[in-house]
Amino acid sequence: MELNHLRCFYEVAKQGSFTGAARALRTSQPSLSKMVRLLEEREQLRLFERNRAGVALTDSGKIFFERCEVIFNEVERLKNYTQSKQDRVEGELRIGASDNLSNYLLPEIFQEFWKRYPGVRIKVLAGTSEVIKEELKKGKLDLGLFFHPAKEKRLKTEKIGATEFVLICSSLNERLKSGKFDRALLEEFYFIGSRLSDYPNSHLCLNLIRSLGIEPNLFFETNNQETQKRMAMRELGYALLPYFMVERELREGALRKIRAPKRLLAEVYLVKRRDSEQSRATELFESFLRDRLPDRLSPRF
């Protein structure tokens, strides 16, 4: 007994006509009629009474229909079970990311990911690119996400998006209150930036500011950009930060944007070990990042 033949019979019985069943199964009516006829011939039973109004089940047809309901309900349960097993992903996701990404963009992505895959345990290291690269090479992290490309042979680096950095200061800052770009003033005034010792090869924010023709007076150094923002809000100086970090404060007037003569864009890189085999959880999260992170990085002003 062919399951496909039973499916055709079952659909005709449910719809009450061959026309409706053919439409539901997306097949032709002659093909459907042939399937039902083959079932009746092989089982040597008459399952339908044909009439002008459609079809009616015979006594044997009623028994067949009851049994088919049980069969196809079980088939549906099996499909649901298979789907749930495919969606049920367990394990551990270990990701390292720059502190600004960890604080402002990843939590929302983690929330979406975890709602769909609640069996995945998430571990996050917020740190500098140098620290994250070392952890990746040691196999202690699955993915890295930061602003500096990793040039080590053991690591695979891919650009995943770009974001805009903006010069900001407190809205109460008297010396920079106009928001006008003044090269001489910015070189003289205190700059709040990352620690030079954390970036021996390339200091992103210094490079961006220098591209404006400024050699900033790096007076305050901290390894945390959230601290840089809060220090700027205390009128200790100015900082260069990703727009997504200061969007709300700029909108609410707690911070002022210093208008640079050009846009300062920085690329974000997804990094992983070349020789590592990714877990299912890591593969799925990487796909989440590719789909969601670029839009969140893009400036909205």
Domain annotation for the chain: domains and CATH numbers: 3-87 (1.10.10.10), 91-161+267-297 (3.40.190.10), 163-265 (3.40.190.10)
Q: Which tokens is 2 given?
A: 């062919």
pLDDT at 242: 95
The angle at the Cα of 280, spanning 276 to 284, to the nearest 5 degrees, equals 105
For residues 33 and 199, what is the distance between their CA atoms, to the nearest angstrom? Answer: 74
Distance CA 190, CA 237 (A): 5
With the CA atoms of 68, 72, 74 and 80 taken in that order, what torsion angle do they form, in degrees rounded to the nearest 10?
A: -170
User: Contact, 194 vs 205, CB < 8 A?
Assistant: yes
Mean pLDDT by 10 residues, the chain (301 residues): 88 89 87 90 90 85 91 82 68 93 94 90 93 92 90 90 95 88 93 88 87 94 94 95 95 94 94 86 91 80 43
The answer to whether residues 160 and 289 touch, using CB atoms and an 8 Å cutoff, is yes
The model's pTM is 0.68
Write the CB contacts of 184 (distance below 8 Å, at least 6 apart in sequence): none
